């Protein structure tokens, strides 16, 4: 039986992970569960899986968590320091599924233990890619990508060398506006943006998919996970979301990973690695799918992928600024403060707003850049 810590247990990735654990109770012992502020959801999961510790990020909710778990014998904690300490406890596998830059420090804490991390927090490598990959090498940690696209690439690379790779292609569903006109996109509402046609995801990630920023962030993440060079990383729109990514080798062969649009498939790949495990998913029926379509992304309508590639090429602080600005802009869009197309425009404005800060050398440097970018983005919103 292996121990597993789930950071972000009440989110969509956490829920999918626990569904697989629930179906394989003889294989896993849950030791850590964390949540941002959902005490009720965290307490229900803690009572079901009996971890050693349950942590809520919101310190003000600690008393509520303790009351919900009274008599269970489960340790309760709250706050950023508690999250980091829980991540550093050293489970056999740590699932890093905290959304946004709030997950940076816990991921680094798990890396510093030299353990195996199933990484679902793309912001960790987007904002702190150079810092984190250096820590992985220094501590002998293992990163297993959980994003469907990166997990697909990981699977297609097994048994092959990066030096043999001609190109890596990330597939994108195109989101809910992939067939929309410019006028329809400019008038898009939050309700329309979060209605993803293929995947069941949270609001922030769904909006990122709608703007195509999700694919831009994944491009930066792939740059760090699979160091073949930015010029060998491509994006293609694939509306059916059946082919999750592809790797082309120098002999002209292209390997693709196919599967249903369900996060339990890539999560299962990470949980069972280097082997395989059963999932409740049915077999892929290509006859029922009928067709697989591909087309180039339209960076005039969806400039986020271009912005991400430019930030990645610049390196240093640029990716962290891009990520922070995007998070602030998406939140403003969801609250009705700005329109949909203003999200990418605001990110572009932030990347072009004065001289670029010095490249980060530590996680604290990354967090300082992130905090300053959020402050400046907030000030920019005041002029809207």
Query: What single string gives the DSSP state of each residue in 235-257?
Result: EEE-TT--EEEEEEETTS-EEEE
Please check whether residue 70 lies inside any domain of the structure. Answer: yes
Sign, CA torsion 183/189/195/199 = positive
**Tens digit of each residue's pLDDT (9 = 90 or more) over 278-317:** 999 999 999 999 999 999 999 999 999 999 999 999 999 9
Give the residue numbers spanning the domain of 126.
2-145
Average of pLDDT values for 265-290?
Answer: 94
Which phi and psi (to 5°) does residue 366 adopt? -60, -45
Please check whether residue 211 lies inside any domain of the structure. Answer: no
pLDDT-based confidence at residue 197 (cuts at 50, 70, 90): confident
Please check whether residue 50 lies inside any domain of the structure. Answer: yes
Q: What is the pLDDT of residue 195?
A: 87
Q: What is the pLDDT of residue 150?
A: 97
Please check whether residue 129 lies inside any domain of the structure. Answer: yes
Query: CA distances (Å), 178 to each of 172, 239, 259, 374, in order?
Result: 10, 8, 21, 29
DSSP-assigned letter for residue 295 = B
Please check whether residue 69 lies inside any domain of the structure. Answer: yes
- Global pTM? 0.92
Q: What is the pLDDT of residue 383?
A: 81
pLDDT-based confidence at residue 358 (cuts at 50, 70, 90): very high
Tokens at 223, concatenated: 């740059």
pLDDT at 44 over 70: yes
Please check whether residue 32 lies inside any domain of the structure. Answer: yes
pLDDT at 14 over 80: yes
* Residue with more model confidence, 137 or 201: 137
Average of pLDDT values for 173-198?
Answer: 92
Mean pLDDT of the chain: 95
Helix/strand/coil for 143: strand
Q: What is the pLDDT of residue 169?
A: 98
Q: CB-based contacts of 116: which residues, under 8 Å, 6+ apart?
A: 92, 93, 94, 141, 142, 144
Tokens 């249903």 label which residue? 260
pLDDT-based confidence at residue 384 (cuts at 50, 70, 90): low
Q: What is the pLDDT of residue 222?
A: 97
Q: 365, 130 in Cβ contact below 8 A?
A: no
Q: 180, 225 in Cβ contact below 8 A?
A: no
Strand order in the sheet with 254-258: 233-237, 165-172, 243-249, 254-258
Q: 189, 252 in Cβ contact below 8 A?
A: no
d(CA 17, CA 21): 6
In the chain, how many domains are there?
A: 1
State the DSSP string of 165-227.
Answer: EEEEEEEE---TTTT--HHHHHT--HHHHT--SS----HHHHHHHHHTHHHHHHHHHHHHHS-
pLDDT at 101 over 90: no
Average of pLDDT values for 353-358?
Answer: 88
d(CA 261, CA 263): 7
Q: What is the pLDDT of residue 354?
A: 79
How many Cα atoms within 13 Å fall on the side-chain side of residue 237? Answer: 18
Please check whether residue 110 lies inside any domain of the structure. Answer: yes
Average of pLDDT values for 187-203?
Answer: 84
pLDDT at 334 over 70: yes
Q: What is the pLDDT of residue 378?
A: 95
Q: What is the pLDDT of residue 4?
A: 98
Helix/strand/coil for 11: coil
**Tens digit of each residue's pLDDT (9 = 90 or more) over 243-261:** 999 999 999 999 999 999 8
Please check whether residue 121 lies inside any domain of the structure. Answer: yes
In this structure, what CATH number is given to the domain that contains residue 113? 3.40.50.720
Instruction: Give percent above pLDDT 90 in the chain.
Output: 90
pLDDT at 200 over 70: no
């Amino acid at each position: 039986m292996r121990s597993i810590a789930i950071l972000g247990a009440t989110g969509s990735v956490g829920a999918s992970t626990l569904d697989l654990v629930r179906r394989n109770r003889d294989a896993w012992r849950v030791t850590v569960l964390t949540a941002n502020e959902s005490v009720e959801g965290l307490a229900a999961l803690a009572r079901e899986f009996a971890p050693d510790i349950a942590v809520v990020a919101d310190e003000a909710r600690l008393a509520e968590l303790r009351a919900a778990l009274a008599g269970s014998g489960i340790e309760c904690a709250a706050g950023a320091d508690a999250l980091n300490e829980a991540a550093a406890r050293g489970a056999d596998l740590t699932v890093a599924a905290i959304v946004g830059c709030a997950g940076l420090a816990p991921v680094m804490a798990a890396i510093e233990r030299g353990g195996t991390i199933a990484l679902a927090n793309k912001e960790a490598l987007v904002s702190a890619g150079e810092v984190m990959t250096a820590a992985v090498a220094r501590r002998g940690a293992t990163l297993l990508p959980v994003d469907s696209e990166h997990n697909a690439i990981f699977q297609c690379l097994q048994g092959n060398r990066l030096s043999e790779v001609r190109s890596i292609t990330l597939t994108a569903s195109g989101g809910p506006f992939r067939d929309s006109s410019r006028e329809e996109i400019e008038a898009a509402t939050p309700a329309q943006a979060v209605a993803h046609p293929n995947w069941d995801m949270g609001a922030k990630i769904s909006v990122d998919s709608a703007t195509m920023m999700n694919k831009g962030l994944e491009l930066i993440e792939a740059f760090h996970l699979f160091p073949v060079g930015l010029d060998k990383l491509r994006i293609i729109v694939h509306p059916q979301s059946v082919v999750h990514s592809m790797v082309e080798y120098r002999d002209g062969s292209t390997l693709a990973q196919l599967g249903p649009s369900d996060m339990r498939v890539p999560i299962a790949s990470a949980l069972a690695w280097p082997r395989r495990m059963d999932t409740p998913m049915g077999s892929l029926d290509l006859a029922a799918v009928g067709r697989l379509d591909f087309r180039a992304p339209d960076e005039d309508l969806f400039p986020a992928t271009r912005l991400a590639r430019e930030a990645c090429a610049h390196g240093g602080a640029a990716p962290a600024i891009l990520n922070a600005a995007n998070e602030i802009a998406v939140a403003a869009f969801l609250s009705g403060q700005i329109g949909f197309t203003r999200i990418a425009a605001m990110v572009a404005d932030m990347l072009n707003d004065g001289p670029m800060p010095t490249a980060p050398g530590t996680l604290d440097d990354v967090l300082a850049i992130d905090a300053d970018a959020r402050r400046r983005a907030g000030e920019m919103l005041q002029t809207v």
